[in-house]
Structure 1
Amino acid sequence: MYRVKQIEAEADLAGFSQWLKEQGVEHRITEEGDSQVLWLENPDHADPVLHALERFLSEPELRERVNEVVSSPVFVGGRWQPSPRHAPLVLAMIVIGVVVSFFTELGQNRLATYLMIIDPTVYNWGSMAERIQALSVTLSNGEIWRLLTPDFLHFSWAHIVFNAVMLWFLGSQIEWFDGRQRLLLLFAVVSVLSNGLQYLVSGPLFGGLSGVVYGILGYCWLSQRRRPRFQFPPALVTFAVAWMVVGFTPFTEMLGLGRMANEAHLGGFLSGLALAVILPVSKKAPHQGGA
């Protein structure tokens, strides 16, 4: 072992030591009088480890993040890997989407019209004025659920699988770190705004959790800058925004992917960003369900 650093005894290095283990760095921390000493098996690791240690000791937010990750049961080897018991609300959303897709035959039977934002077989919706009138009558009849139920309509299994994967990866983190009430609020607000925009621009023939996924992504990305806690590759946001822009072109139809719910994606993403600004950053401990 090579002696590489002496640190004051008051410094809590438990989280840093666990992080080093997960990185495969062989080391030992010993006590010498009023100090702690960091030893490394491989001296080639000294420079990067010392740099990481300096940041760990000098940046409280980074230290909190490291300690949170290494002590959390939803991180395995430093990677976000929750089980269903860690995010039951997200799991329920996915299950509902799968069940609805099955019973509506991927949006092809009469049942699907009861879940669209308006019933397209009852109302005229060719113009903006007609769409506003149809929605006003629908809501005045008490069919408020229609603002949310388009989320669970999907028109291909590939579509719901992709949405389910993204919702599980990002939504489960919000449910764990920010609580179920925060996730429910995000779901409700993003759904209403993304579905509403899509309907007003293009009519009622749409569905899917994509708007919610874009809203959750926007929330995670911007809220992460205020308090680091979520884990996702930065390139994911770049890819998602680029794909949203591509959706407004004829390219997806040329590829045989059909027309995307572009306004729902845009409305979802913008509403997620807005909620990240408006809502206070949660300070609650994970899995307590607070807003």
Structure 2
Amino acid sequence: MNIIEVMRLPLAVDLSGFIQLLQRLQVPHRVSEEGESQVLWAPDTLAEQVQQLYQRYPDGNADLQLADPADGPDAGERAPAQPSLAAQAKACKVTALTLLLCLVVAGLTGLGENFTTLRWFTFLDFRVQGDYLYFRPLAEGLAQGQWWRLVSPMLLHFGVLHLAMNSLWFWELGKRIELRQGAGALLGLTLLFSVVSNLAQHFTSGPGLFGGLSGVLYGLLGHIWLYQWLAPNRFFALPKGVLVMMLIWLVVCLTGVVGTLGLGQIANAAHVGGLLIGCLTGLLGGALARRKLSA
């Protein structure tokens, strides 16, 4: 399945209602701006159905439900079939590939238990001597060309719950950005948020073991939050309570209560660093998008 151009319309055409309809039907798609036009992209297997849907409901004002085979042989013509998980993954390649890499690294490192392979992905290389870990300075590692360490900790996870929760949130947030802004935007933002959150954690806490997608997740959250605030788009809208819940969790972690309860150490600086850089990119991206719409 390939993502192709389905429709090209003037910027003056309001697609927000139709985009909401596609979102309700869980049809993978994204919209890009090219000059004075806006382009709707969708999987080639659904292109014809999306075009027909737009001809019937350009404002998205249809109370549609997915077809049920029990409704008869013509029921499938009322709306596009709901994409499978595999189809969504193909439409969101960067999101799916990132999660696949996390799963592979979890297997290689034994979820942080195998120090021999763990050291390949940590922010600082280290050696084990007795009961202690001795870390190599950051400047020394970078001088030897180990630049991948600036981003590789995001692939590390320490426990099944850690991996599962981060994967679920990255799937939800990453899909939104990839379908709305494109694969390149998600890849660039993911790498940027990873670098900033890892540097924040390192320079705040000093040499140590840390990892996970959570710093990136807070970056994606901040980006979507402020981008949506400046240039509202229904596809970017987060479920009610998600933003508040994640911000409350951030504050709870900052209090240190999680570590006190023996639930593990939290990379708070990575969370805060990711959120701040995500808010910055959201402000810049949202301001540019708003300027284009008002031009």
Which category describes the TM-score, using the shorter chain as reference length? 0.5 to 0.7
Taking the aligned partners of 2:240 and 2:274, their CA distance within structure 1 comes to 19
Tell me the number of residue pairs that the alignment of Structure 1 and Structure 2 aligns.
Answer: 218
Amino acid at match of 2:289: V
CA distance change for structure 1 residues 222 and 81 in 2, over 3 Å: closer, same or farther? farther
CA distance change for structure 1 residues 140 and 84 in 2, over 3 Å: closer, same or farther? same
Taking the aligned partners of 1:254 and 1:135, their CA distance within structure 2 comes to 30
SS at match of 1:114: coil
> Normalization by structure 1: what TM-score?
0.68
Contact between 2:200 and 2:273, CA under 8 Å: does it hold in 1? yes
Q: Which runs of 4+ in 1 moved over 4 A?
A: 75-82
Task: Give the match for residue 7 of structure 2.
Answer: none
Contact between 1:178 and 1:282, CA under 8 Å: does it hold in 2? no
Taking the aligned partners of 2:147 and 2:65, their CA distance within structure 1 comes to 44
Task: Give the match for residue 97 of structure 1.
Answer: 102
Residues 110-189 of structure 1: pairs in structure 2 closer than 5 A: 110-121=116-127, 134-189=137-192
Q: CA offsets, 1:93-134, max 9 Å, x none?
A: 0010011011101112111112111113289xxxxxx98x81
Task: Give the match for residue 67 of structure 1.
Answer: 18
CA distance change for structure 1 residues 77 and 196 in 2, over 3 Å: closer, same or farther? farther
Give 1:225 deviation, angstroms. 1.3
Amino acid at match of 1:211: G
SS at match of 1:116: coil
> Normalization by structure 2: what TM-score?
0.67
Aligned pair partner of 1:206 in 193, 204, 210: 210
CA distance change for structure 1 residues 264 and 174 in 2, over 3 Å: closer, same or farther? same
Taking the aligned partners of 2:270 and 2:163, their CA distance within structure 1 comes to 15
Give 1:193 deviation, angstroms. 0.4
Contact between 1:247 and 1:259, CA under 8 Å: does it hold in 2? no
Task: Give the match for residue 267 of structure 1.
Answer: 273
Larger Rg: 1
Aligned CA RMSD, in angstroms, stands at 3.1
Q: CA offsets, 1:21-46, max 9 Å, x none?
A: xxxxxxxxxxxxxxxxxxxxxxxxxx
Q: Which stretches in structure 2 are left out of the alignment for 5+ residues?
A: 1-11, 30-63, 67-81
Taking the aligned partners of 1:157 and 1:269, their CA distance within structure 2 comes to 24
